Amino acid sequence: MFNYLFSKTKFYPKFTTEKELILYIIENCTHDSISHVYRDYALTEWKEKHTAMMHEWPIYDYDDWLIRHLSKVTDDEDIIRAIFKVKDSGTKRSEYTGNLIFNKNLPIDIIEEFLTVPLHSRELTDMSMMEYKYITKEIKDSIEERIVSNKIAKRKRKEDKTRDKLKAYLLTVNATKSVLNGRMAVNDIVEQTITSDVNDQVLDYMCKIFDVIDKKV
């Protein structure tokens, strides 16, 4: 609390342009979710350009709000790159990086760098739907390939989970005559039951059944 109060007396450089002020905030204030540097030091004509609202207050009322907003809409490459660097520090990564994905003005190298890090399927889907100004067919194809790869990996995890549950069920209750009579191994039954042509809804239903059985046993 006292640190914040004393910070109000901190000396800030004189900003001759709005861009200078915004870059200063990105580099020095994104760690503080309650800083008001833009609100306190921006000229009135700069503020008038930002008409978006957050919780019934101007978007520039808090620096954090403003940077989140600019992440989505700014077309200034220097500002975009400064915001992108914030993710490397671990500070505000999810908010700022997540918003940058929705900025159609992303430079092509930043789009490419996004594809070098783990992204959720939802983030990749959002990227595939964006009409970026600077993007190639190769990068679009890479995004689609990542989406397919994620779906395959997710499907495999679901199959493996269902296999484990089915195997545990068969081993616990000796569910089939084949197992009881020794004519077929449990692993063989599992592999014949959980195949790639079993749809996701069936796998989900089987998992639910096995969960219920586990609780009753």
- The pLDDT score that the predictor gives to residue 123 is 87
Are 128 and 176 in a shared domain? no
In a domain, residue 142? The reply is no
In a domain, 2, yes or no: no
Q: Give me the domain span that covers residue 24.
A: 10-135
Give the model's pLDDT for residue 177: 53
In a domain, 56, yes or no: yes
Q: In angstroms, rounded to a whole number, what is the distance separating the alpha carbons of residues 147 and 137?
A: 15
Q: How many domains does the chain fold into?
A: 2
Kindly state whether residues 105 and 23 are assigned to the same domain: yes
Say if 57 falls within a structural domain. yes
pLDDT at position 4? 47
Return all residues near 96 (Cβ < 8 A) that are at least 6 apart: 30, 67, 68, 71, 83, 84, 86, 87
Residue 211 lies in a domain: yes
pLDDT on residue 14 = 80
Could you give the percent of the chain with pLDDT greater than 90? 32
Average pLDDT over residues 160-186: 65
- Closest C-alpha among 42, 103, 30, 107 to residue 73: 103
The verdict on 160 and 87 lying in the same domain is no
Q: What average pLDDT does this structure show over 38-54?
A: 88
pLDDT number for residue 91: 47
Reported pTM: 0.68
Q: Mark whether 106 and 16 lie in a shared domain.
A: yes
Residue 4 counted as domain residue? no
